[in-house]
A and B are shown apart, each in its own frame.
Chain A
Amino acid sequence: MLVINRVRIEIDTIKGKYGFDRSFTKGLNFIVSNGNTRGKSAILLAIYYALGFEQLIGGHGSQILSKAYKKKIKDGNVELNVLESGVYVEISNGMQVNTLYRAGKSENRESKLITVYKGDIDQVLSNSCSRKDYYVNMRNSATNEFGFHHYLEKFLGLGLPIVPQQDGSERKLYLQLVFSAMLIEQKRGWADFYSSMPNLGVKDPKRRVPEYILGLDKLAIAKKKSELKNRETDLKNRWYSLREDIFMEAKLEKFLVDSIPLKPEIIDNDSIKGIKLIYADQGEKSVEDIIEDFRNEINRLSNLEPKIVDNYEELETELIETELEAEKMRDKVSKLNKNLITEQNKIKSLEYNIQIIENDLQNNYDARKLKKLGSDIGVSTMEGKCPLCNQSIDDSLLPTDVDYLNMSIEDNIRHLKAQKNALEYALANHKNNLDSTKNDLYIINENLSVLRRLAKFLRNDLYKVDEDVSEAMIYKRIELEKKVESILLLNESFQNKKKRFKEISDEWKEYLNDKANLPSGDLSEDDTDKLNEFESNFIDNLESFRFSSELDYKDLTISPLTYLPEMDGFDMKFDSSASDHIRVIWAFTLALLQTSLVKNGNHPGLVIFDEPAQHSIVLQDLVALFKCIQSIKGDHQTILAITINSNEINEVLNEFEKENNIIHLEDLAFKKFQS
Chain B
Amino acid sequence: MLDINYENDVDFTQRPNPIPYNYRLSYKVSQICLILKLSVARGGVSMTKIQMLASALLSEKEDKQLVNLIKGSSWNYVVRYDPTVIRALKYAMFDNLVIQQGNEKYRLSDKGQAFVRKIQHDENLMTREKNFLNTYSLKVTEDMINMLMVQWRYDDASDK
Residues of A whose CB lies within 8 Å of any CB of B are 360, 363-364, 366-367, 369-371, 373-374, 376-382, 386-388, 393-398, 404-409, 411-412, 415-416
> From residue 59 to 97 of chain B, which have CB atoms closer than 8 A to chain A?
84, 87-88, 91-92, 94-97
Verify if B126 is at the interface (C-beta below 8 Å from A): yes
Contact of B16 among A364, A374, A382, A407 (CB under 8 A): A407
Are B125 and A366 neighbours in the complex by a CB distance under 8 Å?
yes
Across the interface, which residues of A come within 8 angstroms of B126, CB to CB?
Answer: 366, 370
Contact of A367 among B24, B91, B92, B118 (CB under 8 A): B24
Are B95 and A363 neighbours in the complex by a CB distance under 8 Å?
no
Are A398 and B16 neighbours in the complex by a CB distance under 8 Å?
no
Are A370 and B16 neighbours in the complex by a CB distance under 8 Å?
no
Across the interface, which residues of A come within 8 angstroms of B94, CB to CB?
Answer: 386-388
Contact of A397 among B84, B111, B115, B118 (CB under 8 A): B84
Are A377 and B118 neighbours in the complex by a CB distance under 8 Å?
yes
Contact of B18 among A366, A382, A393, A415 (CB under 8 A): A415
**Complex: how many Å from CA A378 to CA B125?**
19
Chain A CB count within 10 A is highest, among B26, B92, B119, B125, for: B26
Interface 1/0 per residue, B30-41 and A, CB below 8 Å: 100000000000
Q: Which residue of chain A is the closest to B31 with respect to CB atoms?
A: A370
Main secondary structure of the interface of B (DSSP, over half): helix
Across the interface, which residues of A come within 8 angstroms of B111, CB to CB?
Answer: 377-379
Q: Which residue of chain B is the closest to A385 with respect to CB atoms?
A: B95
Assuming the A-B contacts A388-B94, A405-B16, A415-B18, are A373 and B23 also in contact, with contact meaning beta carbons closer than 8 angstroms in the complex?
no
Are B27 and A363 neighbours in the complex by a CB distance under 8 Å?
yes
Are B91 and A381 neighbours in the complex by a CB distance under 8 Å?
yes
Verify if B14 is at the interface (C-beta below 8 Å from A): yes
Are A367 and B21 neighbours in the complex by a CB distance under 8 Å?
yes
Q: Which residue of chain A is the closest to B28 with respect to CB atoms?
A: A397
Verify if B114 is at the interface (C-beta below 8 Å from A): yes
Minimum CB–CB distance for B86 against chain A, Å? 10
Verify if B153 is at the interface (C-beta below 8 Å from A): no
Are A397 and B17 neighbours in the complex by a CB distance under 8 Å?
no
Are A360 and B21 neighbours in the complex by a CB distance under 8 Å?
yes
A-B complex: 9 closest residue pairs judged by Cβ atoms: A397-B84, A387-B94, A363-B21, A405-B16, A387-B95, A407-B16, A367-B27, A370-B30, A371-B26
Are A379 and B122 neighbours in the complex by a CB distance under 8 Å?
no
Verify if B102 is at the interface (C-beta below 8 Å from A): no
Verify if B25 is at the interface (C-beta below 8 Å from A): yes
Are A373 and B95 neighbours in the complex by a CB distance under 8 Å?
no
Q: Which residue of chain A is the closest to B94 with respect to CB atoms?
A: A387
Across the interface, which residues of B come within 8 angstroms of A377, CB to CB?
Answer: 111, 114-115, 118
Q: Which residue of chain A is the closest to B20 with respect to CB atoms?
A: A360
Minimum CB–CB distance for A408 against chain B, Å? 8
Q: Which residue of chain B is the closest to A407 with respect to CB atoms?
A: B16
Task: Supply 18 further A-B pairs (C-beta < 8 A) apart from A394-B25, A407-B17.
Answer: A360-B20, A366-B125, A367-B24, A367-B26, A374-B29, A377-B111, A378-B111, A381-B26, A381-B91, A388-B94, A397-B84, A397-B87, A398-B84, A405-B14, A409-B24, A411-B18, A412-B18, A412-B21
**Complex: how many Å from CA A378 to CA B110?**
13
Minimum CB–CB distance for A391 against chain B, Å? 13
Are B21 and A370 neighbours in the complex by a CB distance under 8 Å?
no
Across the interface, which residues of A come within 8 angstroms of B24, CB to CB?
Answer: 367, 395-397, 409
Verify if B19 is at the interface (C-beta below 8 Å from A): yes
Q: Which residue of chain B is the closest to A389 with respect to CB atoms?
A: B94
Are B23 and A366 neighbours in the complex by a CB distance under 8 Å?
no
Are A380 and B95 neighbours in the complex by a CB distance under 8 Å?
yes
Are A370 and B26 neighbours in the complex by a CB distance under 8 Å?
yes
Across the interface, which residues of A come within 8 angstroms of B23, CB to CB?
Answer: 396-398
**Complex: how many Å from CA A396 to CA B26?**
8
**Complex: how many Å from CA A415 to CA B19?**
10
Verify if B42 is at the interface (C-beta below 8 Å from A): no
Interface 1/0 per residue, B125-159 and A, CB below 8 Å: 11000000000000000000000000000000000
Q: Which residue of chain B is the closest to A364 with respect to CB atoms?
A: B21
Assuming the A-B contacts A369-B122, A387-B94, are A374 and B26 also in contact, with contact meaning beta carbons closer than 8 angstroms in the complex?
yes
Across the interface, which residues of B come within 8 angstroms of A393, CB to CB?
Answer: 25
Interchain residue pairs with CB less than 8 A apart (30): A360-B20, A360-B21, A366-B21, A367-B21, A369-B122, A369-B125, A370-B27, A370-B30, A373-B115, A373-B119, A377-B118, A378-B111, A379-B29, A379-B95, A379-B97, A379-B111, A381-B26, A387-B91, A387-B95, A395-B19, A396-B23, A397-B23, A397-B87, A405-B15, A405-B16, A406-B17, A406-B19, A407-B19, A411-B16, A415-B18
